[in-house]
Structure 1
Amino acid sequence: MNCNIINFAIIFLSFIKLISAQESKPDLSIFENLINKEWKANGTWGDGTMFKQETIFKFELNQTIVIAKSKGFTDKKQTKYGLRNHGIRKFDQETNTIKFWEFDIFGGVTEGTVIPDGKNILYQYHYGNSLVTDMWEYVDNNTYNFKVGNYLNGKWEQIYLETQFKAERSNSND
């Protein structure tokens, strides 16, 4: 009889642990300052082409993912501007990391890892044979320095783009 009570207690506690694990939200708090603001940046790539982007971040699916919708140039000649990227950021329990996927209008997808560094947000991904990093370096609640390049062992080896994202409150209900 005591064995049945012990087994029941073990099963019950395991069930409670499983339920609470499913209800706990992954830690996507690094994105909280970005949420529901329209982030705008203008700059010039190292090859002289223009960089112009507007991005809105939102929590979705009970705050288990972050959706990023970006406007940018939608043609190679940089004459058309509109919705360019749709991104997803999600905590992966298996690897204990935040992963991201960025789908673009040209049919491409960029996959990588998000690395929180204090209030800074680093996106690392492979582009060809290079490991590329996009860094959102926190300045204040409405400003981030933005760099794209090769960032290894805590230092920039090469920078392809350096600009700044400034925020405005978003009126979008998308």
Structure 2
Amino acid sequence: MKKFCILLSLLVILPVFLKAQKLLSLSGFADFTEGIWLTEGNWANGKSFKQEVDYYWGLNQKIIKVKTYGTINSETNEYGLRNEGIRSYNVKDSVLQFWEFDIYGGITSGTCFFEDKNLNYEYEYNGEFLRETWFYVDKNHYNYQIGSLKDGKIDKVYMKSSYCRVKK
């Protein structure tokens, strides 16, 4: 009877543990590495937003590297490489972290996590706590949103758009 209880406990706990491990691992990014993601939209203030994001594996699939292209000069609307980033699982703290390095010398860092197939980034920016979410639509489309967080919920939305995958 004791062996049965242990076995039953393992059968209940193991799927929960495996799901938690997947949420914290880099495996959720695998789908993002299979193309370049394009979006065009507008900020809440009306300014246009255009971006392409290229996710790819690095360091023997121990990190995700990201190159982001967008407007690099708002006066001339010059378009080019704007950010390079890294996504990595921090074993010590058991959390997915990210760092974005922009062409202006800025560094944005925070945590990222998956809820099912939705990808979330949370970070502080200019004194405000923000969440960026890629909402899964299908394997080639995500809806995208940037908003401020208050008490763990989106308080104000700054940007909504959608991403479409194109081949590399």
Instruction: Report if TM-score (shorter chain) is over 0.5.
Output: yes
Structure 1: 5+ residue stretches without partners: 1-25
Counterpart pick for 1:76 among 57, 74, 77: 74
TM-score, with length taken from structure 1: 0.79
> Matches of residues 95-114 of structure 1 in structure 2 within 5 Å?
95-114=93-112
TM-score, with length taken from structure 2: 0.82
Name 1:63's counterpart in structure 2.
61
Partners of 2:151 and 2:104 lie apart in 1 by 32
Name 2:87's counterpart in structure 1.
89
Partners of 2:58 and 2:116 lie apart in 1 by 23
Partners of 1:107 and 1:128 lie apart in 2 by 15
CA RMSD of superposed structures (Å): 1.4
Name 1:33's counterpart in structure 2.
31
1:73 maps to amino acid: T
2:95 maps to amino acid: T
The Cα of 1:101 is off from its aligned counterpart by 0.3
The Cα of 1:129 is off from its aligned counterpart by 2.0
Partners of 1:116 and 1:154 lie apart in 2 by 16
SS at match of 1:74: strand
Name 1:159's counterpart in structure 2.
157
Name 2:20's counterpart in structure 1.
none
1:60 maps to amino acid: G
Structure 2: 5+ residue stretches without partners: 1-23
Describe the shift of the 1:31–1:153 C-alpha distance in structure 2 as closer, same or farther (beyond 3 A): farther
Describe the shift of the 1:152–1:169 C-alpha distance in structure 2 as closer, same or farther (beyond 3 A): farther
Partners of 2:41 and 2:77 lie apart in 1 by 16
The Cα of 1:78 is off from its aligned counterpart by 5.1
Q: Is 1:118 aligned to 2:116, yes or no?
A: yes
SS at match of 2:83: strand
Say which one has the larger Rg. Answer: 1
